[in-house]
Amino acid sequence: MTFAAARADLAAWKNAFPVDPYDADTPLQSVLARGLPADRLAALATEATSFGRAVVEVIGPAAARHERAGHTPELARWDGLGKRIETVEFDPAYHWAGTATWASGVVTHSGTPGRAYEQATLLYLLSLEGEAGHGCPATCTIGLARALRRRAEPEVRDRFLPPLLERDYAKAERGSQFLTEVQGGSDVGANATVAEPNGDGSYRITGEKWFCSVADAQQFLLTARVPDAPPGTRGLGCFVLPRMLDGAPNGFALRRLKDKLGTRGLASGEIDFERAAAWPIGPVDEGFKTAVGIVLNTSRWMTAVGGAGMMRRAYLEASAYAAHRKAFGRPISGFPAVRRTIAGIHAEWLGALHLVFALTALEDRIDADIASELDVLEHRFLVNATKYAVSIRATEVVRDAIEVLGGNGTIEDFSVLPRLYRDAMVYESWEGTHNVLAAQVLTDLGRLPILSVLEERVGKLLTRSTSPIADELASRWEAAIVDANRAVTDADYGAWNFRDILHQISGLYTCAHLLDDGQPVAAEHLLRTRIAPGVDPGLAERVDALTSHATT
């Protein structure tokens, strides 16, 4: 093969990327069609088509530039005249991507209760580029907007909410969420930042926050300890703090921006607060409930959606590359070992898609205030289990795609994959580490009748399936529920084994949803390769089925 022919193959691979990623994603369309009425689906299809094109044409190239070394955000604490401004400067490309992201409506939808399908679809499309640079600010802004809409007193809501809902990036205010302090992120109850009441409904915040993403936001949401409150999480209030007050930074100083493994386009800083003015979001003695129940749960949902988008991208890159790249005189997609990897990526992406949209359906109903008690219980499990399962899988899947591209897969300007890999690692820890999420699920299973809801709902999906693997899934599901019940009642057993049990429950839950949406091959692949791995006589046939459509 000549050099020119090899380069032409690479160019053909690049050109195989869909110009309209929504139109190309039939599994996504199928999931949406099952969940939405026709008029809402049609309106979303129009938005998603237009935004998907912008992701390819504008956001991809912009993100490739603004998160490159030498183009990442920089601290600007003082202006040229020596006035304190406490701001962050970005490469112009950061704002091109932000303009397109905000114009999509992903944040503006927060003003209307029950628009979770729209927000998840748009964020999934954004995540084809990773683009935590704006995925994180959009997510934080959505969380803050939801908290203000659902929990704040009218005067606080009416002051802070409208600018968050602006579609025009140049006019919009962005939100952030600061819980973590230097003494720990998992143990939020150890927060030592304090909030002193002014007596007029407002508070003064003093302390330091250790991980402050969207450090450039115009509104900070934060947790702080209120006077005479009990220790731990019950003593925390949840506040909104405007960046600027009377034309000057509102009692805060940006100590530094962190130099991170991933999400490098995003400004994550350490911030000191000294008597900064803030207003409570909801009752101050319910601050932790607001921060976790609305804000963190929104971020967990969105982080999982982002992971599913990254997996979709990994599949698109790897499957097209394998079709165009040649080795030993034939396309590498002809090698069983390569095809098997691509089939695994395909099945994992489909599984993540179904898991995050099962969660999105519940988010939609809860936000619209039409969820049943059983929905709320299922959501309580799923929001933590989905973030846990999808963020682990996203890193593994992107790494597998890098393997398909070989050495080229590790090169920063050859494909988006190195950036996705670095970002996926960060997604694993923020909004709750694996252990913390698993521990939360175990605690919830012990306190609430979640297992019986899951048993009933997943059981129903498996019973109505005619797939030959439905019975096997059902018996594994029963065994997993027995194990989960033991973990709940035997603390030692739970502490040692619950991550494995969660792996089983979330995997089987995913398979049940895949079967229900007519994806039996992907369900069986996850069953045989992840849930119950072993030598598998049906592997070749399944891989054929999973790799027969290069880009769907």
Complex with ligand FAD: residue 86 or 378, whichever CB lies closer: 86
CB nearer ligand FAD, residue 169 or residue 430? 430
Dihedral of alpha carbons 359, 364, 368, 372, sign: negative
Q: What is the nearest approach in angstroms of ligand FAD to the Cβ of residue 438? A: 8
The CB-of-367 to ligand FAD minimum distance in angstroms stands at: 22
Taking the least distance from each CB to ligand FAD, the nearer of 54 and 257 is: 257
User: By C-beta, is 424 or 526 nearer to ligand FAD?
Assistant: 424
Shortest distance in whole angstroms from residue 266 CB to ligand FAD: 7
Could you please report the per-residue DSSP string of 449-490?
THHHHHHHHHHHHHHT---TTHHHHHHHHHHHHHHHHHHHH-
| Least Cβ distance, residue 120 to ligand FAD (angstroms) | 21
Amino acid identity at 99: T
* Residue entry with tokens 């044409």: 57
Residue type at 493 in one-letter notation: Y
Q: For ligand FAD, which is the closer residue by CB, 268 or 519?
A: 268
Q: What is the contact surface with ligand FAD in residues (CB under 6 A)? A: 176-180, 184-187, 211-213, 260, 263, 268, 426, 429-430, 433, 435-436, 439
Query: Rounded CA gap, 387 and 380, in Å?
Result: 12
Scored b (16 or more CB within 10 A) or e, 191-223 reads: bebbbeeeeeeebbbbbbbbbbbbbbbbbbbbb
| Residues facing residue 181 across a β-bridge | 184
Nearer to ligand FAD, 181 or 367 (CB): 181
**What CA–CA distance (Å, rounded) separates 358 from 35?**
9
Q: Least separation, in Å, of the C-beta of 217 and ligand FAD? A: 9
219 close to 227: Cβ distance less than 8 angstroms: no
Query: What span, in angstroms and rounded, lies between the C-alpha atoms of 383 and 446?
Result: 17
Smallest distance, Å, CB 249 to ligand FAD?
18
Min dist CB 504 to ligand FAD, Å, is: 19
Phi-psi region of 232 (alpha: psi -120 to 50; beta: other; left: phi over 0): left
Q: How far is the CB of 271 from ligand FAD (least distance, A)?
A: 10
Q: How far is the CB of 207 from ligand FAD (least distance, A)?
A: 13
Helix, strand counts (H, E) of the chain: 20, 13
The candidate with the shortest Cα–Cα distance to 221, out of 260, 271, 261, 255, is: 271
C-beta closer to ligand FAD: residue 310 or 332: 310
Cβ density class 28-37: b for 16+ within 10 Å, e for less: bbbbbeebbe
Sequential DSSP letters for 10-67: HHHHHHTS-SSHHHH-HHHHHHHHHHS-HHHHHHHHHHHHHHHHHIIIIIHHHHHHHT
- Report, in Å, the least distance between residue 280 CB and ligand FAD: 18
* Closer residue to ligand FAD (CB): 177 or 510: 177
| Closest distance to ligand FAD from the beta carbon of 392 (Å) | 13
Q: What is the DSSP code (8-state) at residue 260?
A: -
Task: Output phi, psi for 17, to 5 deg.
Answer: -65, 130
> What count of other Cβ atoms lies within 10 Å of the Cβ of residue 147?
26
The smaller minimum CB distance to ligand FAD, of residues 55 and 257, is found at 257
Q: Which is nearer to ligand FAD, 186 or 206 (CB)?
A: 186
The sign of the dihedral angle between the CA atoms of 534, 535, 541, 547 is: positive
Closest CA to 177 of 310, 308, 304, 298: 298
Closest residue to bound ligand FAD by CB: 185
Nearer to ligand FAD, 299 or 467 (CB): 299
At its nearest, how many Å lie between ligand FAD and the CB of residue 292?
Answer: 11
Closer to ligand FAD by CB, 419 or 528: give it.
419
